[in-house]
Amino acid sequence: MKTPPFLKLALALLVLGPILRAAPEIDAKELNLVRQIREKILVGAKSTSTAPAAYTEKIPNTEVSFTLQPIPAGTFTIGSPATEKSRNPDEGPQAKVSLPAFWIGQREVTWSEYEIFMFASDSAGNATKTEADAVSHPTKPYVEMSFGMGREGFPAISMTHHAASKYCQWLSAKTGHFYRLPTEAEWEYAARAGTTTAYSFGDDPAQLSAYAVFNADKYGKVGSKKPNPWGLFDMHGNVSEWTLDQYEPDAYARLKGDPAIGSWVKSSQLYPHVARGGNWSDTPELLRSAARRASSPDWKMLDPQLPKSVWYHTSAPWIGFRVARQSEIPSAEEMYRIWNNGFALDN
């Protein structure tokens, strides 16, 4: 008996459904906004050197600034060796990865930086609209999102992966530089800072207290501990940090080439994404350079909204992020994917 054409189509859609959902259509209006932001970035790129050097940038129309640290091009081994104490299976197999030079935030994004974006809609009624004003902004939270742990000089927390990415889009529109979340490979390369030990200072967790806020009741001010060899603060502890990648337990096994060219695992769903670095409530083994954490819907368990907020992880007061910047300016389509990574699939 032959299968009717309409049944063939239904079966095909049933089989292909997950694949089709993994590649959502690009929103034309949002893509047009990204193109406008990209043009602004390109204009700025023509008048500045792309050779990575440390710099401090002030967010326009504010007194708030942040510092970017240059990370040299190089090849490193991602993951941990089988002999590393407390290692998890998702930290292997180890693989060599080659990365071009880039910049990364010297410190985690603070409340002083993030709240300008978080409450930007409060001043959205001005007559002179900019590309930054058109970027989607967080809804007002139901609770005070630092949960009383401190704001001035402290890391911003509890934002979703989507919120962190949208902050990067907004910051790019404000400054004319292309900012995004660091890839998982970039994050580990910067955290290791040329080392191959469990931590950037060696293998002895007894030294952690000099470099990290951990096993504590709350987070600390950014930069309150010693930096790693490349001048980056809080790569171990304080708050866990979002990376661009979707979490896959066998991600390193999929790397091609020797060394593999650094890339990122693009999202096919909202969860899970990769967080790195451990946080203020963690024990030492979770702060190792190779340690990985997968995000979960449980992180917004206490969110009173129905449907759950796309902006806040009310049950994860230990997740934050830092920004990265690459020298090469990607296409508008790639920028769109980076700033809307995984969000379109499931709200």
Q: For the chain, first and last CA: distance in Å?
A: 42
Task: Report the percentage of the chain scoring pLDDT > 90.
Answer: 78
What pLDDT does residue 307 have? Answer: 82
Mean pLDDT lowest among 63-72, 180-189, 218-227, 267-276: 267-276
Above 70 in pLDDT, residue 320? yes
Distance CA 321, CA 240 (A): 7
**Whether 107 contacts 222, CB under 8 Å:** yes
The confidence score (pLDDT) of residue 45 equals 80
Token pair listed for 334: 């790639």
Flag whether pLDDT at 332 surpasses 90: yes
**What's the rounded mean pLDDT across residues 281-308?**
93
Q: Please report the pLDDT score of residue 121 as a whole number.
A: 67
At residue 347 the predicted structure's pLDDT band, cuts being 50, 70 and 90, is very low
pLDDT of 342 reads 67
Share of the chain above pLDDT 70, in %: 87
Residue 23 pLDDT exceeds 70:
no
The 10s digit of each residue's pLDDT in 169-211 is 999 999 999 999 999 999 999 999 999 999 999 999 999 999 9
Whether 18 has a pLDDT exceeding 80, the answer reads no
**Segment 88-124, tens digit of pLDDT:** 999 999 999 999 999 999 999 999 999 999 998 665 4
> What is the pLDDT confidence band of residue 128, given thresholds at 50, 70 and 90?
low
Share the mean pLDDT of the chain.
89
pLDDT of residue 20: 29
Whether the Cβ atoms of residue 181 and residue 168 lie closer than 8 Å to each other: yes
CA torsion, ordered 81, 75, 162, 132, to nearest 10 deg: 160
**Sheet harboring 292-294: ordered strands across?**
292-294, 273-276, 240-246, 319-320
Burial 32-44 (b: 16+ CB within 10 A, else e): ebbeebbebbeee
Predicted confidence at residue 244, as pLDDT, reads 97
pLDDT tier for residue 126 given thresholds of 50, 70 and 90? low
Name 110's bridge partners: 155
Mean pLDDT of all residues in 38-61: 84
pLDDT for res 341: 86
Residue 339: the pLDDT is 96
The average pLDDT across 25-50 equals: 85
- Give the mean model confidence (pLDDT) for residues 79-93: 97
Q: How far is Cα 341 from Cα 166, in angstroms, rounded to an integer?
A: 10
**14 vs 181: which has the higher pLDDT:** 181
Provide the pLDDT for residue 50. 57
Q: What is the pLDDT of residue 122?
A: 60
Compute how many other C-beta atoms are within 10 angstroms of the C-beta atom of residue 238.
32
Q: Which range has the top average pLDDT, 9-23, 64-78, 330-344?
A: 64-78
Strands 319-320 and 240-246: parallel
Compute the half-sphere exposure of residue 63: CA atoms within 13 Å on the CB side of its CA.
0
Taken in order of first residue, the domains within the chain and their CATH numbers are: 25-345 (3.90.1580.10)
Whether the per-residue pLDDT at 3 is higher than 50: the answer is: no
- Residue 114, judged by CB atoms within 10 A of its CB (0-12, 13-18, 19+), counts as buried
Residue 329: how many other CB atoms lie within 10 Å = 16
